[in-house]
Amino acid sequence: MSKAMGSERIGKVYKGGKTRARREWRGLRDTWYDYTRWLFIWKTMIGFMMNLNNIRGFFRYRWMANYLAVPDFLDRHTEGLRGPQLRIAHTEFDLIVAHMCDTMTTMFKADPLIGNDKKLSDSIVVFDENMMSQIMNGFPNLHMVCIQIPPVYTSSTMTQEGVIHYIDVAQEFGIPADVCPMPAAELGVAIDDDYPHIGKCAVQCNTTCDGSLMGNGLEARRYGIPTFQLPVPIRHTQDSVQDYAAEEIMNAIRFIEEQTGEKFDWDNYWKCMEVFNEETKQMLEWLELSRSPYPQVIGNNVALYRDATYQVAGGRDARFLDADREITRLGLEGYEKKCLCAPVVRHRAILWGVQAQYYTAFPLWLQNCWGILPLIDMLSLTSTRIFQTGDEKQALLDMAHLYQNMTMRNRSNGGYEVGVKDLWRFCESFKADMVIMYEHIGCKAMAGYHGIFEEQARERGIHLVWVTHGLMDPRAASRKDMRGEVSRYMRAVMGEAPLDPSLEDFDDSNAW
């Protein structure tokens, strides 16, 4: 027990049940900091529950129970961290919690069953979960709500069994068990009538996969509001698809204008895109750090947060830019002090494929248990283009570019060049000797490259470690199963022993 990273045996907190006592001694300064952030999260949550609408929402929607595990979520995602990395994690996750509270407060206020604020509801445009939001940068008077995020996406990250009920509902309806659990769970929420009936209209998108697209059609029946389907070209690297992509963006804008009576505000759009550009520049700084011998913004600290900034906030919420700048400052500070992200750095890894939502803390385990630095993940490797402002025609093409390069679909769609070839380019660029290859059982787009990945990794001498998971359904492959695949590889192929033996084999099947 000391302030040194790796001084505690972290696995001791997992005793087979729910983890309720998990304070970690990180030295006086870091422990005190962590404790104050823990209090801050409770303050945010209590503040949220002081609102009568939110209390009613809590009892109306079964998925709300997952959010009781928010403090545990924070603890899981800061295990073993010290110094700048600890502060980066809290800067990010505290903001995400606050942002989620804002979103849910808006949803419940507009919900006819709860707040019944019709005016607010009429100012809401319902978006898909897996969808860029930059179109809404031109509608400052409207709210964009990614309706599936609170019930499904974040629910399953808070508690590993958070959406199992909804997956089962979808399967009882007749959806095959082999499809991706995410759209299945989203459909399950619709079947259970567990989406708030809010919004003036909805925009759906053909991101991220064939299953997601198909679930949308059924969900639209349940929304019961005018819905626009935005088809984004699949072969997004081809020049020949860009005009069509832009045309459909324009059609989506027209649809929102017609439904809400609002006019697209180009000035506000430019303003938001300037913020978005600044956020991208911060991201580029983090990536540059990750190419150095002393990466600072890696693993969990980039994966979930980048998703929120890039896709959901999209330049509209200035808090994210403030947080980004703070993260850059902390990252540079850590770099100058040559801080390491793991007790001992043994391998530099790229995480490829789709991460398990029920185990988003997995990269942290890689660091703490085996000294594998998860430098960057596939989902965070999205567009880093800096966009011009002032040219409306170009702006439509830019928006089209962003929608085509949405998180995940920019790699799972578009062909071999972006799905496989880019991986080897990133390995070289980040000086990675290892690839942690997530094999999400229901993701057929990535599974189609299975043999190609193996053959090409062998040719390049890169260690390719398969980690099988069920995205949102831990029954398919548990957290322990995921760890087991890495541990077996590290023992059998690499001949290495864990840095923290308590983390090699422990039971967290009943943990949140």
Partner 1 sequence: MKDLKHLYYFENLLQEANNDLVRQAASEGRVAVGSVCSLVPEVLLSLPGCFGVRLRAPRTGSMEMGTYYMTSLLCECCRAILERAIEGGYKFLDCVIAPDACAQMNRCVENIDLQKLCDKEKFFVSYADVPMKSGDAALRHYVKQMRLRALDPLRDTFGVDTSDAALREAVARHNEVCRLITAIGDLRKEERPRITGYEFHVLCTATYCCPKDLLVEKLRETLGELKAREPAPEGAYRARVVMAGSELDSPDLVKLAEDSGALVVADRFCFGSLPGRQEIVLTEGEDVLTQICRQYLEQGQCPRYMDTAKINERKAYVDALAKEYRADGIVYEQMKFCDYWGYERAAASRIMREEFGYPVLSVDVPYVVGTNAQLRTRMQAFVESVEIKKIQGEAKR
Rounded distance between C-alpha atoms, residue 320 and residue 276, angstroms: 9
Burial of 458 (0-12, 13-18, 19+ CB in 10 A): exposed
Residue closer to partner 1, measured from CB, 207 or 368: 207
Residue closer to partner 1, measured from CB, 16 or 217: 217
Given 21, 119, 240, 459, the residue binding partner 1 (CB under 8 A): 240
Residue closer to partner 1, measured from CB, 211 or 299: 211
To partner 1, the closest distance from the beta carbon of 260 in angstroms equals 19
Q: How many helices (H) does the chain have, and how many strands (E)?
A: 21, 8
Residue closer to partner 1, measured from CB, 98 or 214: 214
To partner 1, the closest distance from the beta carbon of 465 in angstroms equals 16
Rounded distance between C-alpha atoms, residue 448 and residue 439, angstroms: 11
Residue closer to partner 1, measured from CB, 208 or 280: 208
The verdict on 257 binding partner 1 (CB under 8 A) reads no
Burial of 444 (0-12, 13-18, 19+ CB in 10 A): middle
Q: Which residues, 412 to 451, sit near partner 1 by CB under 8 A?
A: 412-413, 415-416, 439, 441-442, 444-445, 447-451
The verdict on 211 binding partner 1 (CB under 8 A) reads yes
To partner 1, the closest distance from the beta carbon of 177 in angstroms equals 9
To partner 1, the closest distance from the beta carbon of 232 in angstroms equals 9
The verdict on 215 binding partner 1 (CB under 8 A) reads yes
Given 65, 120, 218, 345, the residue binding partner 1 (CB under 8 A): 218
Closest CA to 100 of 145, 42, 40: 145
Q: Omega into 208 within 30° of 0, i.e. cis?
A: yes
486-500 per-residue burial string, b: 16 or more CB within 10 A, e: under 16: bbebbeeeeebebbb
The verdict on 354 binding partner 1 (CB under 8 A) reads no
| Phi and psi torsions of 79, nearest 5° | -55, 125
**Cross-strand bridge partners of residue 463:** 434
Q: Which residues, 157 to 176, sit near partner 1 by CB under 8 A?
A: 173-176
How many residues touch partner 1 under the rule CB under 8 A: the total is 48
Strands (E) across 139-243 are located at 143-146, 201-205, 227-230
For the chain, give percent helix, strand, coil, nearest 5.
Answer: 55, 10, 35
To partner 1, the closest distance from the beta carbon of 229 in angstroms equals 5
The count of C-alpha atoms lying within 13 angstroms of the C-alpha of 412, restricted to the half-sphere facing its C-beta, is 27
Given 135, 179, 189, 275, the residue binding partner 1 (CB under 8 A): 179
Residue closer to partner 1, measured from CB, 290 or 410: 410
Given 55, 98, 120, 214, the residue binding partner 1 (CB under 8 A): 214
To partner 1, the closest distance from the beta carbon of 107 in angstroms equals 24
CB 374 within 8 A of CB 494: no
Classify 25 as helix, strand or coil. Answer: coil
Given 91, 156, 229, 478, the residue binding partner 1 (CB under 8 A): 229
Residue closer to partner 1, measured from CB, 230 or 364: 230
Rounded distance between C-alpha atoms, residue 165 and residue 472, angstroms: 11
Which string of x and - marks every residue 67-86 that binds partner 1 (by CB under 8 A)?
--------------------
The verdict on 204 binding partner 1 (CB under 8 A) reads yes
Within 10 A of 501 (CB to CB), how many other CB atoms are there? Answer: 11
Q: Cα 373–375–379 angle (5° rounding)?
A: 130
Rounded distance between C-alpha atoms, residue 304 and residue 397, angstroms: 27
The verdict on 112 binding partner 1 (CB under 8 A) reads no
Given 251, 292, 388, 394, the residue binding partner 1 (CB under 8 A): 251
To partner 1, the closest distance from the beta carbon of 487 in angstroms equals 22
Closest CA to 487 of 474, 469, 500: 500
- Stated as kind and residue range, the H or E segment containing 307 is helix 300-307
Segment contacting partner 1 by CB under 8 A, of 142-150, 224-232, 284-292, 372-380: 224-232
To partner 1, the closest distance from the beta carbon of 133 in angstroms equals 19
Q: Which residues bind partner 1 (CB under 8 A)?
A: 173-176, 178-180, 204, 206, 209-211, 213-218, 220, 227, 229, 231, 233-235, 238, 240-241, 243-244, 247-248, 251, 412-413, 415-416, 439, 441-442, 444-445, 447-452
